[in-house]
Amino acid sequence: MQDALSRFPATRTAALERLQRFVPHAGRDYAARRNYDLGRDAHSGVSTLSPYLRARLITEAEVLETVLNRHSAAAAEKFIQEVFWRTYWKGWLEMRPAVWRQYQTALNRCLDDVQTQSGLRARWEAACKGETEIDCFNAWARELVETGYMHNHARMWFASIWIFTLRLPWELGADFFLRHLLDGDPASNTLGWRWVAGIQTPGKTYLARTSNISKYTEGRFAPKWQLAGEAIAVPGPPVPERQPLPDLAAPDASLRTGLILHEDDLSPGFLLDTGLAPVATAVVTTREKLSPLAVAPHVTAFATGAAADTLARFGARLGEVTEVEGTTQDVMAWAANAGLGQIVTPYAPVGPVADLLDTVAGAAGVPPLCQIRRDYDSAAWPHATHGFFRFKDKIPSLLGQMHGLNAAK
């Protein structure tokens, strides 16, 4: 655990320092070097900001604004697109939440199979421990378990080998990531694995090739004759019909207000700066619910550390602060004890926090719960209707809207 948190201190200060180090390289350097995985502690070609964006200790809009203050949109095009990939995945899943439930149901079936099929269990355990016959795969598995991070390009190779070479269910691989990644995100993770498997874009798979791995690891790895030679798409259930984003009720400034602070958005300034003055704040972390299995200690420690950092920065504006277990009953007890007339919280995208908030909102006797969605998300998510390349066409206008919103503040 300490190894992961020493690499990624769970503070906004650490996020800002990392951003400032990266910004000079966000243009041509990033475009040229972003695909190179040179090993742990050598990921200089990418920003490594994802754990902080996952918890929104720093926001996508902040990162984009900072980069565009140094580079033109054309020069930083590749990095800008990478930030918007995260946004696109979230919007796509937000309008198709049943895909997350499909994954969870299929994962539980796979875990049942692991218990009853000894061969599957042995292959799954070897993959998770990094004890296969494929050196690069083993190195990535160990890096993930020990540091909570894996280079984005390596994630694609790893997922492809997991599915097409080791012939393991993709859901077990997605779960392995969520149990260990500091940036493990239901949208990016689930949909990324579906894409590699040929489910997200039906029939389009990703095949890890020796030549590609050798090139982008600069010869560290060259798994000759060990990798699958083809990637036949994995069958998957039909994609559910797209749903509109939910309409959100505005909070009532006259009511006694409580704030739920959760690990999907730990920058509550956008709420507090509107005049919101909570009399009480509940701090809720739910990352242990990302998997039916035990989640790595560094994953939960990063979330609780990031929440503590937020309390240190905003504590004077949060009223009475209570750390609340992530259950409906505990949230209800907190709201009753604080005598709340309403609960306000940053919008939680599909995942464990959203599941908790849905059950809280539907429970009898709970005051009205108002989720507030950021302007950035409200502007971008509705465009995640099809594939990323159609979404990509909207990026210039989204950047313009973002600049206008920031200029108006």
Residue 222 CB partners (closer than 8 Å, separation 6+): 210, 213, 214
Q: Looking at residue 364, what is its pLDDT?
A: 86
Strands in 257-262's sheet, in edge-to-edge order, are: 320-324, 280-284, 257-262, 342-346, 369-372
pLDDT tens-place string over residues 18-51: 999 999 999 999 999 999 999 999 999 999 999 9
Give the number of other CB atoms < 10 A from CB of residue 24: 10
At how many degrees (to 10) do helices 98-116 and 118-129 cross?
110
pLDDT mean over 50-75: 97
- Closest by Cα among 38, 33, 34 to 221: 38
pTM tops 0.85, yes or no: yes
pLDDT at 2: 66
Q: Quickly list DSSP for 335-361.
A: HHHTT-SEEEEE---TTHHHHHHHHHH
Average confidence (pLDDT) over 212-230: 95
Question: Hey, what domains does the chain have and what are their CATH numbers?
Answer: 2-94+380-408 (1.25.40), 100-216 (1.10.579.10), 257-373 (3.40.50.620)
- Using CA atoms of 113, 117, 119, 124 in order, give the dihedral in degrees to the nearest 10: 30
DSSP for 293-317 reads SPPPHHHHHHHHHHHHHHHHHHGGG
Residue 326: per-residue pLDDT: 76
Per-residue pLDDT at 206 exceeds 90: yes
For residue 386, what are its two tokens?
A: 């099809």
- C-alpha 114/C-alpha 109 separation (Å) is 9
When pLDDT is cut at 50, 70 and 90, the band that residue 327 belongs to is: confident
Based on its alpha-carbon atoms, the radius of gyration of the chain, rounded to whole angstroms, reads 21
Torsion of CA 350, 355, 360, 361, to 10 degrees: 40
Using one digit for the tens of pLDDT, what is the confidence trace for 102-150? 999 999 999 999 999 999 999 999 999 999 999 999 999 999 999 999 9
Q: In this predicted model, what pLDDT tens digit does every residue of 349-358 receive, in sequence order? A: 999 999 999 9
Q: Quick check: 408 pLDDT over 50? A: no
When pLDDT is averaged across residues 389-401 and rounded to a whole number, the result is: 95
Listed residue (397, 363, 349) closest to 92, CA to CA: 349
- Cα separation of 115 and 91, whole Å? 35
